[in-house]
Amino acid sequence: GQQLNQSPQSMFIQEGEDVSMNCTSSSIFNTWLWYKQDPGEGPVLLIALYKAGELTSNGRLTAQFGITRKDSFLNISASIPSDVGIYFCAGQDYGQNFVFGPGTRLSVLP
């Protein structure tokens, strides 16, 4: 079945630093979504992207829909301790298949 790859798998950063992570697919997607999941909780939707090249912000978060339609990027500026968690990308391909990536685990050091 369809699979998404996320990198990095995990990252440790200092509070205040900017963060970048990405999500790639071997096939074309028409929608990209980014979620954050805290331990023991359900994923929370951060940003939804619908058009190739689209750049969307939500506070300190910025995500982009790659122009190839096979990737997406999430950036977090000026990280704070509450940014800790697992970030999942998810996407819908043209076959209407909706899949999640394996996640990027973010740790923020004070």
100 is a contact residue toward other proteins (CB under 8 A)? yes
User: Measured between alpha carbons, how far is 72 from 8 in angstroms, rounded to an integer?
Assistant: 13
Peptide bond connecting 8 to the previous residue in cis, omega within 30 degrees of 0: yes
* The pairing of beta strand 10-14 with beta strand 104-109: parallel
- If binding is defined by CB under 8 A, does position 94 make contact with other proteins? no
| Distance (Å, whole) CA 4 – CA 28 | 11
Interface with other proteins, residue 56, by CB under 8 A: no
Q: How far is the CB of 78 from other proteins (least distance, A)?
A: 26
Q: Of the listed pieces 11-19, 55-63, 64-72, 93-101, which binds other proteins according to CB under 8 A? A: 93-101
Which residues bind to other proteins, rule: CB under 8 A?
Answer: 4, 31, 33, 35, 40-45, 48, 50, 88, 90, 92, 98-103
